Amino acid sequence: MKHTRINRDRLADTFLNLVRIDSPSRHEGRVAKWLKDWFKDFPGAVVTEDGSAIETGSDTGNLVIRLKGNQEKPPLFFNAHMDTVEPGRGIKPVFDGSVFKSDGATVLGGDDKAAIAILLEAVNCLQENKLNFGPIELVFTTCEEIGLLGAKALDTSILLSKAGFALDSTDPDAVINRAPAAIRFNIEVHGLSAHAGINPDKGINAIKIAAEAITKAPQGRIDEDTTCNIGLIKGGTATNIIPALVEVEGEVRSHEASMLRKIQDEIIGCFHQAVENYHGHTEDIPKAKAPFINSAIRDDYPLMSVPEGHPIVTTVLQAGKGMGRNLYLKKTGGGSDANIFNQKGLTTVILGIGMQKVHTTAEFIRLSDMVASCHLVLEIIKYWRG
């Protein structure tokens, strides 16, 4: 299959058509309809939409497209997500014949519509060249960019496959088999409001207490496997009012479960200590009243670790070798639908497709990388034995 001709012009047109369809998270319905129409007359394709929209709030469910194939092999799935980040409305793609980018006012949407276009071109090649393949399932999810919500709500009972690939990363030579677990935290710092000009001594400034905690909390890269970040701070009502409430939100990611919880506890501990350090109590401000904190921890996504000897890994490396490409295994610091799929018992690794500067208005992708990714998908299908 490595010599199968990819129709570059058709691949480019498919991608351009897709990115012109607005599909920010929870508004993937138009892309879903476009895909349903695309497969409507495709020989042997069965399209299923699950009921995940009730949970995700999207205007569509996840789509699963099944191609029966003509060989007895274990089913195999390929995944891409339909949503894009903002600014992602009214995208005007610019294509110079080799590189796709936006006009600079929006993202391009290559994350992850380039993956969808690649998979559709691979499907075209399977049919046009009458290639042999086993059952294939395409899993197009919603709301990936806002917490992997579509994957979390996916009804896996509609899938026959137990293993597959998520096309959702940058380096086209990288095969990601390890990704961290993550938690999110929300901390409320409660102080006491008062007029900032007339009686500031009767207030407790929640922002000041939160600031002390934030300056002492671990942040950034902790070690090779662990990162943490405080990304949102909300508080205060007016410049002349001592702020009584500050809300702080952040995350911790790690490939080591014990380290994940250790850093989580250290961060919460810094806020407790900042409250303990407060020395502004008077008769007007009894210690029992304020300050205090409320904290909540939420598991965001689980650890992903696929062994090097698993057939899904050996297959892609063998496929790359058959193409003369030196693919390599990689550990990432990001989370994706693949984390959730693995948790649900669907062994998944992530393939890079060449998209660059994603989530920015400078995003771009080369057509040559998309063509190479399409060839790799076809080679994987060829080598897959389960």
**Shared domain check, 204 and 308:** no
Alpha helices (H) along the chain:
8-19, 29-40, 53-56, 110-128, 149-153, 206-216, 257-276, 311-322, 337-343, 367-383
What pLDDT score does 1 carry? 42
Do residues 154 and 54 share a domain? Answer: yes
**pTM, two decimal places:** 0.92
Q: Is residue 44 part of a domain?
A: yes
Burial per residue of 306-332, b for 16 or more beta-carbon CB atoms within 10 angstroms, e otherwise: beeeeebbebbbbbbeebebebeebeb
* Domain identity same for 31 and 171: yes
Expressed in percent and rounded to 5, the helix, strand and coil fractions of the chain are 35, 30, 40
CATH assignment at residue 117: 3.40.630.10
129 and 21 assigned to the same domain: yes
Q: Which active-site residues does the annotation give?
A: 83, 144
> Looking at the structure, do residues 375 and 263 belong to the same domain, yes or no?
no
- 205 and 327 both lie in a single domain: no
Per-residue confidence (pLDDT) for residue 288, from 0 to 100: 58
In a domain, 29, yes or no: yes
Give the pLDDT confidence of 304-352 residue by residue, as tens digits.
999 999 999 999 999 999 999 999 999 999 999 999 999 999 999 999 9
From 301, 325, 343, give the residue that closes a domain: 301
Q: Could you tell me the residue range of the domain that residue 229 belongs to?
A: 181-301
- The Cβ of residue 201 has, within 10 Å, a number of other Cβ atoms equal to 11
What is the predicted pLDDT for the residue at 134? 95
Considering the domain architecture, whether residues 228 and 251 belong to the same structural domain is answered as yes
Sign of CA dihedral 135, 302, 373, 89: positive
CA distance 227 to 73: 41
Instruction: Examine the fold and report which residue of 301, 322, 345 is the final residue of a domain before the chain moves on.
Output: 301
CA 32 to chain centre: 18
CATH of the domain at 297: 3.30.70.360
Q: Which stretches of the chain drop beneath a pLDDT of 50?
A: 1-2
Domain end call among 275, 301, 327: 301
Q: What pLDDT score does 283 carry?
A: 60
234 and 244 together in one domain = yes
Same domain, 133 and 211: no
Same domain, 90 and 17: yes
Q: Are residues 209 and 231 in the same domain?
A: yes
Q: Are residues 201 and 329 in the same domain?
A: no
Within-domain flag for 1: no
Which pLDDT tens digit goes with each residue over 154-171? Answer: 999 999 999 999 999 999
Query: How many structural domains is the chain composed of?
Result: 2
Whether 268 is in a domain gets the answer yes
Residue 3 covered by a domain: no
Evaluate whether 79 touches 347 at the Cβ level (below 8 Å): no
| pLDDT the model gives residue 279 | 76
For residue 2, tell me if it sits in a domain.
no
CA angle 330, 76, 374 (to 5 degrees): 65
152 located within any domain: yes
